[in-house]
């Protein structure tokens, strides 16, 4: 049985013109502000390296904390292979405290492990002396989790001269560790995330596993495996991130462009792609009632009560305003969601 939608978020890539990046970055911040006004519970940033999108989500979120007062901010996802866990723990602790409302932080960092996209093309620049020995496995995330938990990173605590030093990463933000998410797309990764007490981000991409190529069935199996391994069981948090394109208030030109966009991406959804057998979910385009019906029949969606719908990559700002407004005022309520005050 489908659960009423409890939390509604959106995901943006934050595109900009490389010749003049400021307007695009400003548009991303304005989009987050709009999301808060519309009552969204969360805004998520897609993290990209060497592309014309968000390469520094900590910076974007820090700016957004000063322009919003309630909406939660997350990454979906940060490839941890390009990060130093020690330094990232310092940045995230600072950011979470900066974001706090009534003493509680609102940052939701999401991660993946393994080599980042196109890693072989820039690993020499990233780790000129150590790229052959860098550990890009789950152990890298386990280090970050330990640092956020406040485990010691130094063998000294006390005063030297007029300076005081701590054994653990500073500043420490209590509660941040419980808001760490993992972007899982396989049974193994989802099970690992559950065993380590993380929250699960599941998106429009999964690894084809088992005896079926049905996306929804595979995604549901992964969600069930995550919760079976998680200490919280069925209460463990899962957020689904499909691409939805409601057309309720769209102009005829927008509808035509949206449908063309979806049709161009449809071939990749028909069978697993590449040597890893990656399977993509079809984008959902139509009225909010049509999309709600499709979601409620989706085995993966039936297992969640949180979503972070992904905005298409290459649309205009006016398109994003229309999509977010329709999602918040029509699709969300059709799924049982109530906007935040």
* Sheet (strand 72-75) strand order: 78-79, 110-112, 181-183, 199-203, 238-241, 306-310, 7-12, 42-45, 72-75, 107-108
Instruction: Report the pLDDT averaged over residues 269-293.
Output: 95
Checking if the pLDDT of 84 tops 70, the result is yes
1: pLDDT strictly greater than 70? no
Q: Give yes or no for a contact between 184 and 190, defined as CB atoms under 8 angstroms apart.
A: yes
* CB-based contact 22:57 (threshold 8 Å): no
Listed in sequence order, the DSSP H helices in 150-240 are 187-195, 215-229
DSSP state of 273: B
What pLDDT score does 210 carry? 86
List the one residue out of 84, 110, 105, 109 whose CA is nearest residue 173: 105
Q: What is the pLDDT of residues 230-279, one digit of tens each?
A: 999 999 999 999 999 999 999 999 999 999 999 999 999 999 999 889 99
Q: What is the 3-state secondary structure (H, E, C) of 19-46?
A: CEHHHHHHHHHHHHHHHHHCCCCEEEEC
Residue 80 reports pLDDT greater than 80: yes
How far apart (Å, rounded) are the C-alpha atoms in residues 298 and 157?
A: 53
Look at the pTM and tell me if it is higher than 0.75. yes
Classified by CATH at the fold level, domain 7-334 comes out as TIM Barrel (3.20.20)
Within 8 A by CB and 6+ apart from 78, the residues are 47, 57, 109, 110, 111, 112
Whether residue 53 has pLDDT greater than 80 = yes
């Amino acid at each position: 049985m489908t659960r009423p939608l409890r939390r509604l978020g959106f995901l943006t890539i934050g595109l900009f013109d490389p010749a003049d990046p400021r307007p695009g970055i400003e548009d991303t911040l304005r989009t987050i502000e709009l999301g808060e006004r519309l009552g969204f519970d969360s805004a998520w940033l897609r993290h990209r390296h060497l592309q014309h999108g968000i390469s520094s989500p900590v910076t974007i979120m820090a700016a957004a904390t000063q322009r919003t007062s309630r909406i939660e901010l997350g990454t979906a996802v940060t490839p941890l292979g390009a990060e130093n866990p020690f330094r990232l723990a310092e940045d995230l602790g600072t950011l979470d405290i900066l974001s706090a409302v009534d003493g509680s932080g609102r940052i939701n960092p999401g991660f993946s492990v393994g080599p980042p996209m196109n890693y072989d093309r820039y690993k020499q620049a990233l780790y000129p002396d150590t790229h052959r020995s860098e550990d890009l496995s789950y152990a890298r995330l386990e280090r970050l989790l330990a640092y956020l938990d406040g485990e010691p990173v130094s063998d000294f605590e006390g005063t030297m001269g007029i300076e005081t030093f701590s054994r653990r990463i500073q500043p420490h933000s209590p509660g941040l560790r419980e808001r760490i998410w993992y972007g899982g797309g396989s049974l193994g990764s989802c099970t690992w995330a559950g065993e380590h007490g993380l929250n699960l981000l599941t998106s429009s991409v999964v690894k084809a596993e088992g005896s079926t190529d049905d996306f929804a069935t595979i995604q549901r199996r992964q969600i069930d495996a995550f919760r079976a391994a998680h200490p919280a069981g069925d209460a463990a948090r899962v957020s689904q991130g499909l691409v939805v394109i409601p057309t309720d208030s769209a102009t005829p030109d927008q509808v035509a462009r949206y449908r063309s966009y979806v049709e161009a991406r449809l071939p990749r959804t028909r069978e697993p792609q590449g040597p890893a057998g990656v399977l993509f979910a079809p984008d959902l385009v139509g009225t909010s009632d049509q999309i709600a019906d499709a979601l409620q029949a989706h085995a993966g969606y039936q297992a969640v009560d949180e979503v972070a719908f992904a905005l298409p990559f290459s649309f205009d700002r006016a398109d994003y305003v229309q999509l977010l407004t329709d999602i918040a005022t029509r699709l969300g309520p059709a799924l049982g969601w109530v906007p935040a005050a």
